[in-house]
Amino acid sequence: MGNRLEGKVTVITGGTSGIGEATVRRFVAEGARVMIAGRTVEKGEALAAELGEAAAFRRTDVTGEADIAALIDATVETFGRLDVLFNNAGAPDRSTPEEVDEAGFDRAMRLLVGSVVFGVKHAARVMKPQGGGAIINNASIAGWRYGQGSYLYSGAKAAVSHLTRMAGVDLGPHGIRVNAISPGAVATPIFWGGSERAQSLSDEENAQKMAKLTGNLAHATPTPRAGEADDIADAAVFLASEESGFVNCHDLVVDGGRIWMFNEKSG
C-alpha cells in the first residue's frame, strides 16, 4: 500500500462489513482518514479502534436525511474537512412486479436511492466551499441488465447510476466529481441475506456459505474467479484519488465481464 489518498478525509457508509469494511481498511492503508458509518455499533467501534487515529465511527441510519446530515457534520468536526464520500450502504431486496407493496417500495427506495440523494446533497454543501471533492456511489450491474438483482433493487441501482451522471454535471463546475461503481457478483453476505443475517450466524456457518458462494461465482463470470470486496475497494481508491481527476459522471463496471454474459431473459 502507498499514499494515494494521503490526508483525504473520507466518509464510507455501510462501512462495518463486506465492501464497506474492505474499503475502509484500504483507504486507511492509502493514507486517508475515515469516518465509518453504519448501524452495528459494536463492529464499527471495534474497527475504528483497530485502525487507530485515522478512523472514527458514527452510528448512522442512511434511510433518514437527518442522520446523513449529522454524519457529514460529525466528520467535519472530527477531521476538519470532507474530501471523499462513498455512498456504499445497501441491502438485498426480494421484490417481484406482482408482489411489491408500499412498505417494501419505501424501504428499498429510501435505503438504495435516498441515501445517495441525501449523501450527495450534504457532501456537496461541505465540498463546494472547499473547492472540490469526490463522491462515489455504489450502483450495480443489476441496474444494467436483467437477472442480476430483484425488481426494486435493479430499478433503484439504475436510478443511482443516472443520478450519478446528473449530479456530476451539476457539481463538476465546483470541482466535485461524482462517479459510481457497478459491482458484479462480489462474494459478500448480501447473497445470503446481508450483514444482519450474517450476524445471526456463527463464524463457521458464514465461512461455509462464503466458500460455497465463491466456488459458484467462479463459474458464473468470464474471469474465472469470484469477485472480492477488495476488487471494489481498489476501484474506489482510483475514483477517490487524483489519478481520476478527469473522470466524472462515470459508472465503472467491476464485474470480471459478467455483464456481457448471456442469460435467457436478456441475451
H or E element, residue 44: helix 41-51
Res 189: pLDDT: 66
Which residue ranges in the chain fall short of pLDDT 50? 264-267
Beta strands (DSSP E) in the chain are: 9-13, 33-38, 55-59, 84-87, 133-138, 176-183, 251-254
pLDDT of residue 193: 61
So what's the pLDDT on residue 212? 81
**What type of residue is 249?**
C
Paired with 11 in beta bridges are: 35, 85
What is residue 197's predicted lDDT score, i.e. its pLDDT? 65
What is the edge-to-edge ordering of all strands in the sheet holding 133-138?
Answer: 55-59, 33-38, 9-13, 84-87, 133-138, 176-183, 251-254
Question: Residues with catalytic annotation?
Answer: 153
d(Cα 207, Cα 231) in Å, to the nearest integer?
Answer: 19
pLDDT 10s digits, 164-174: 999 999 999 99
Q: Give dist(CA 217, CA 138) in Å, integer.
A: 20
Cell numbers representing residue 100 in the block:
411489491
Contact 213/34 with Cβ under 8 angstroms? Answer: no
pLDDT of residue 227: 85
Residue 248 in grid coordinates: 466524472
For the chain, how many residues are written?
Answer: 267
Q: Grid coordinates in use for 219?
A: 463459474
pLDDT score at 264: 47
Q: What integer pLDDT is reported at residue 206 of this predicted model?
A: 60
Q: What is the pLDDT of residue 201?
A: 64
User: Cβ(257)–Cβ(223) under 8 Å?
Assistant: yes
* Rg of the chain in Å (alpha carbons): 18
How do the residues of the chain divide into helix, strand and coil, expressed in percent and rounded to 5? 55, 15, 30
pLDDT (0 to 100) of residue 190: 63
Nearest to 157 by CA among 210, 88, 104: 88
